[in-house]
């Protein structure tokens, strides 16, 4: 008999939770701190910095005039498998909270760059085989004594902020069904609200609320309505049961309206002609009551989508703006289907939409009154039908999950787009077979680039409905953005460059090569009177469908002008117990 | 019959007829017993669509073009069961999610044609 050990898979992941050095007592983040996060200029307390998701730092030390003097202050390697970084760090009370691939969490003293504690979750074997797009994690949430992280296998974990030990954990779902979690939790009042991925596995999307103190499940709100619920009639037969509409991009909240907004992703299967109808609320922005999960309204971007244009990517931004003489409580989103939408966030009313990329051809147009998009049926892949190409944009979208940013002083939203097309060929209907944990009805697919330049960083004037500037990139862009009151926009590219752009002119003023592709989102914070900018660098996620992972990376970079790194007796190296005992006479 | 692998122990159970056909010595290479068998190829195609296609696509993508693989039968089996570090991210260990028969049938499918 051949030795089984040759192909046996042994062992389980290890968990390493440890307090590396003692922490002083920390000021807790409470609900009013989150509601008033904008007034807290120095800190970055939640995924989008503020509930409106503007990713706008009020800090002004670093400006177009002096950004050329910005240099790295320190860096930190997140190590592990170097499987890609997509996170937005948080900064509170002198500590950076950083999530890395596989939802590993680091609390790092921002003065010294030394790890205060780290959390490395343990997973069941086989999880990687049901994760479509890499073991990414996009961020954390803070409230009270806890740092919240959603693990790749859907567990929601509350870590004690002082030492990283687990206070409680709640299992949201069975990962074996193809449900995974990659997004940052959102804390609203005493609710921790989370979503999930898995739209390619035939799941039914939902968001859930857990009690922030205890982890008790409070409510579940499905994005795909069940029988008797409004919208269920847009699904033939029982197709709603496996209709997708997943919720893998973190939502946002308006404290004044007390509305929670969360996007729903693509419908499943990709074959749209087996689920004829609008397929609500797939590819939609949905407003929920944050205390009950009840749906208040929804707006659908791409009805009966056969293109995988997740409507939840990226999360929208809340702005107050005057358009055509009317003051509007608006939300603005550059959607994966290639259009930028402005909606009234009080009621979901459509205001306007504009294309963000050239050559969009999946639609015959968007109704200027209702905002409803009509699919060009000559571009619609029919089950078992011929291949259709080139469809613009590619299923990765005119843009994707990476967050946009907004400068309220200028009225500009900044976002990254990609110019690319695709071939789709829908599989025959008989090949769409639901098996839990297996891909459910994916089209045959090929991506095409369309020109010398691939990605663009763009500035759009929301009130005046016009593009202001664009910065081309020879490679695709999958990084989020940061806008600052100092007049800068920060973002990164797949070549590894982290860059500062003049928010008014679009001139690239500063670049730094981080060593690996940037697929994460920058933040800015103030420490001891000094402004810092931080970004994670490490190729991963969807770009690995198109690039080799080399050069691999997994680094947190921190920049400033004349930044300060304090010396510390602490160390980021972890001694092996007993390896070098103290010699005793 | 080959059993699915539960969390974290042994990937294959040595009671499979497919396994026994493979030989009894450590030196002998395992051979896919399903090569050329129409029914197994059809099953392998369905499993490929359910497990493999998002990364390996019609002729390669995030993962290499399996229809042009130069791996031996046994090497293919090992990689699918154990996973490995790849050039576009790691190949997950499917030994915990697929049976030995499933893997052999996928292999029979990819060896039966030059694209999906």
Terminal CA-to-CA distance of chain A, rounded, Å?
54
> How far is the alpha carbon of A90 from chain B, nearest alpha carbon, in Å?
27
Helix (H), strand (E) counts: chain A: 1, 39
Half-sphere exposure of A88 (CA within 13 A, CB side): 36
Q: Is A194 on the interface with B (CB under 8 A)?
A: no
DSSP 8-state code for residue A164: -
Distance CA A85, CA A80 (A): 11
Give the model confidence (pLDDT) of A490-499 as tens digits: 999 999 999 9
Supply the pTM of this predicted model.
Answer: 0.91
Distance CA A206, CA A208 (A): 7
pLDDT tens by residue, chain B, 116 residues: 333 433 333 344 333 434 444 445 556 899 999 999 999 999 999 999 989 988 898 888 888 999 999 999 999 999 999 998 877 778 889 998 899 999 999 999 999 999 98
Give the model confidence (pLDDT) of A256-279 as tens digits: 999 999 999 999 999 999 999 999
Q: Which among A8, A123, A394, A548 is the top mutation candidate for probing chain B, defined by the most B β-carbons within 10 Å of its own β-carbon? A: A8
Residue B81 · residue B95 · CB < 8 Å:
yes
Say if residue A21's pLDDT is above 90.
no
Give the model confidence (pLDDT) of A438-494 as tens digits: 999 888 899 999 989 999 999 999 999 999 999 999 999 999 999 999 999 999 999
In total, the C-beta contacts within 8 angstroms joining chain A to chain B are: 117
Indicate the pairing of strand A166-171 with strand A186-188.
unpaired
Residue A425 · residue A454 · CB < 8 Å:
no
Check if the interface score ipTM surpasses 0.85.
no
What average pLDDT does the segment A138-142 reach? 98
Distance CA A143, CA A138 (A): 18
Residues of A in contact with B93 (CB under 8 A): 9, 125-126, 128-129
Distance CA A237, CA A240 (A): 8
- Strands of A217-222's sheet, edge to edge? A186-188, A191-194, A206-211, A217-222
Q: Where are the domains of chain A?
A: 36-68+131-512
Give the model confidence (pLDDT) of A358-406 as tens digits: 999 999 999 999 999 999 999 999 999 999 999 999 999 999 999 999 9
Domain A36-68+131-512 bears CATH identifier 3.10.180.10:
no
Domain B35-110 bears CATH identifier 3.40.50.300:
no
Q: Is B27 on the interface with A (CB under 8 A)?
A: no
Residues of A in contact with B56 (CB under 8 A): none
What average pLDDT does the segment A218-226 reach? 98
Q: Which of A308, A310, A493, A542 is catalytic?
A: A308
> How far is the alpha carbon of B55 from chain A, nearest alpha carbon, in Å?
7
- Non-local (6+) Cβ contacts of A380 within 8 A are A272, A273, A306, A388
Say if residue A10's pLDDT is above 80.
no
Half-sphere exposure of B99 (CA within 13 A, CB side): 15
Ramachandran bin of A221, using left for φ above 0, alpha for ψ from -120 to 50, beta for the remaining angles: beta
Q: Where are the domains of chain B?
A: 35-110
What average pLDDT does the segment A424-446 reach? 91
Say if residue A118's pLDDT is above 90.
yes
Residue A422 · residue A385 · CB < 8 Å:
no
Tokens of A207: 């968001």
Indicate the pairing of strand A206-211 with strand A217-222.
antiparallel
Catalytic residue list contains A289: no
Q: What is the pLDDT of residue B89?
A: 77
Distance CA A109, CA A121 (A): 21
């Amino acid at each position: 008999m051949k030795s089984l050990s040759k192909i046996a898979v042994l062992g389980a992941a290890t968990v390493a939770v440890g307090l590396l050095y003692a922490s002083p007592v920390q000021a807790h983040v409470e609900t009013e701190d989150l509601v008033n996060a904008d007034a807290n200029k120095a800190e970055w307390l939640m995924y989008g910095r503020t509930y409106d998701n503007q990713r706008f730092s009020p800090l002004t030390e670093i400006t177009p005039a002096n950004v050329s003097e910005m240099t790295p202050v320190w860096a930190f390697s997140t190590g592990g498998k170097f499987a890609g970084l997509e996170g937005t760090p948080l900064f509170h009370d002198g500590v950076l909270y950083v999530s890395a691939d596989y939802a590993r969490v680091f609390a790092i003293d921002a003065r010294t760059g030394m790890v205060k504690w780290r959390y490395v979750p343990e997973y069941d074997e086989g999880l990687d085989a049901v994760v479509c797009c890499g073991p990414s994690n996009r961020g954390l949430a803070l409230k009270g004594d806890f740092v919240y992280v959603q693990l790749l296998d859907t567990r929601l974990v509350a870590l004690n902020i002082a030492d990283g030990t687990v206070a409680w954990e709640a299992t949201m779902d069975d990962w074996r069904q193809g449900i995974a979690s990659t997004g940052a939790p959102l804390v609203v009042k005493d609710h921790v609200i989370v979503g999930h991925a898995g739209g390619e596995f035939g799941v039914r999307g939902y968001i859930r609320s857990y009690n922030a103190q205890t982890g008790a499940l409070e409510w579940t709100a499905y994005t795909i309505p069940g029988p008797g619920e409004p919208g269920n009639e847009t699904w033939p037969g029982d197709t709603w049961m496996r209709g997708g509409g997943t919720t893998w991009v973190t939502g946002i909240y308006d404290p004044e309206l007390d509305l929670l907004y969360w996007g729903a992703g693509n419908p499943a299967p990709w074959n749209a002609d087996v689920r004829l109808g609008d397929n609500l609320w797939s590819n939609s922005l949905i407003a929920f009551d944050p205390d009950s999960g009840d749906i208040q309204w929804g707006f659908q971007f791409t009805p009966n989508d056969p293109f995988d244009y997740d409507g939840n990517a990226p999360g929208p931004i809340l702005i107050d703006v005057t358009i055509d003489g009317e003051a509007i409580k608006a939300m603005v989103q550059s959607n994966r289907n290639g259009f930028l939408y402005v909606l009234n966030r009080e009621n979901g009313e459509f205001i306007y939409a504009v294309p963000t990329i050239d050559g969009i051809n999946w639609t015959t147009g968007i109704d200027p009154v209702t905002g409803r998009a009509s699919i060009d049926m000559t571009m619609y892949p029919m089950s078992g039908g011929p291949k259709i190409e080139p469809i613009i944009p590619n299923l990765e979208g005119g843009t994707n999950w990476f967050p946009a940013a907004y400068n309220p002083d200028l009225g500009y939203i900044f976002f990254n787009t990609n110019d690319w097309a695709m071939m789709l060929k829908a599989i025959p209907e008989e090949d769409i077979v639901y098996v839990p944990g297996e891909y459910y009805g994916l089209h045959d697919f090929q991506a095409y680039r369309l020109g010398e330049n691939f990605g663009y960083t763009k500035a759009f004037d929301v009130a005046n409905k016009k593009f202001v500037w664009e910065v081309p990139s020879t490679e695709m862009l999958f990084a989020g953005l940061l806008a600052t009151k100092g007049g800068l926009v920060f973002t990164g590219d797949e070549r590894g460059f982290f860059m500062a752009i003049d928010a008014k002119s679009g001139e690239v003023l500063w670049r730094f090569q981080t060593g690996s592709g940037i697929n994460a989102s920058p933040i800015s914070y103030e420490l001891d009177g000094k402004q810092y900018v931080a970004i994670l660098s490490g190729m991963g996620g969807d770009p690995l469908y198109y690039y080799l992972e080399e050069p691999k990376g997994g680094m947190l970079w921190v920049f400033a002008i004349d930044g300060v790194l304090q010396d510390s007796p602490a160390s980021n190296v972890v001694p092996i117990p007993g390896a070098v005992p103290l010699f005793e006479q | 019959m080959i059993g699915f692998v539960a969390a974290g122990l042994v990937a294959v159970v040595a009671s499979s007829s497919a396994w026994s056909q493979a030989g009894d010595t450590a030196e002998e290479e395992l051979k896919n017993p399903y090569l050329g068998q129409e029914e197994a190829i059809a099953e392998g195609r369905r499993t490929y669509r359910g497990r493999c296609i998002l990364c390996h696509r019609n002729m390669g993508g995030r993962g290499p073009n399996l229809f042009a693989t130069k791996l031996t039968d046994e090497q293919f089996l090992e990689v699918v069961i154990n996973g490995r570090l790849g050039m576009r991210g790691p190949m997950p260990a499917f030994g915990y999610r697929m049976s030995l028969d499933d893997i052999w049938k996928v292999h029979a499918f990819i060896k039966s044609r030059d694209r999906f």
